[in-house]
């Protein structure tokens, strides 16, 4: 029983919302911008709108595909990065604490952060950011912890 996940799309709801709003802003600038800006400044407005749109796409896609989380019979692991890599892991048998943090909106859409700490560490060592159904992730880790403690 392995768990493999990436951050949920809905965890980045405001970036995606602004991203969908940017074409509307572009069209409004195209239709009404000449009333408020000179032609040179209007081109700058267009460039800024397109740059923000491209930036938001890059951030959303980067977060979705550069962060990966897994729980297997031995370890809980968080991987971040495409080129440079940051990997954090805890052995299941050393797991001491599992916390779930959710904002109000995250609760509504059933996403959240799951934090893991080990008996040897002083704080949160591994965090799964913005995963779907975080309470089920916690339950699955606890089930695996129960299997290893019985060995």
pLDDT for 116 beyond 90 = yes
Q: Tell me what pLDDT residue 67 has.
A: 92
Q: How confident is the model at residue 59 (pLDDT cuts 50, 70, 90)?
A: very high
The share of the chain scoring above pLDDT 90, in percent, equals 68
Residue 2, both tokens: 């392995």
pLDDT for 8 beyond 70 = yes
Cβ contacts of residue 76 below 8 Å, gap of 6+? 70, 89, 90, 92, 95, 116, 126, 141
pTM: 0.80
Q: Tell me what pLDDT residue 147 has.
A: 73
Domains along the sequence of the chain with CATH: 1-151 (2.30.29)
Q: How confident is the model at residue 1 (pLDDT cuts 50, 70, 90)?
A: low
């Amino acid at each position: 029983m392995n768990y493999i996940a990436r951050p949920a799309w809905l965890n980045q709801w405001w970036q995606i919302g602004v991203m969908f709003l940017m074409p509307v802003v572009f069209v409004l600038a195209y239709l009404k911008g000449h009333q408020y800006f000179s032609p040179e400044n209007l081109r700058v407005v267009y460039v800024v709108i397109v740059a923000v749109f491209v930036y938001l796409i890059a951030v959303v896609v980067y977060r979705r595909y550069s962060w990966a989380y897994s729980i297997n019979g031995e370890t809980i692991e968080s991987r971040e990065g495409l080129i440079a890599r940051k990997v954090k892991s805890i052995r299941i048998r050393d797991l001491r604490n599992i916390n779930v943090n959710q904002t109000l909106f995250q609760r509504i859409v059933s996403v959240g952060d799951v934090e893991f700490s080990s008996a040897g560490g002083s704080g949160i060592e591994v965090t799964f950011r913005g995963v779907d159904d975080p309470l089920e992730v916690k339950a699955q880790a606890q089930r695996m912890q129960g299997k290893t403690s019985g060995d």
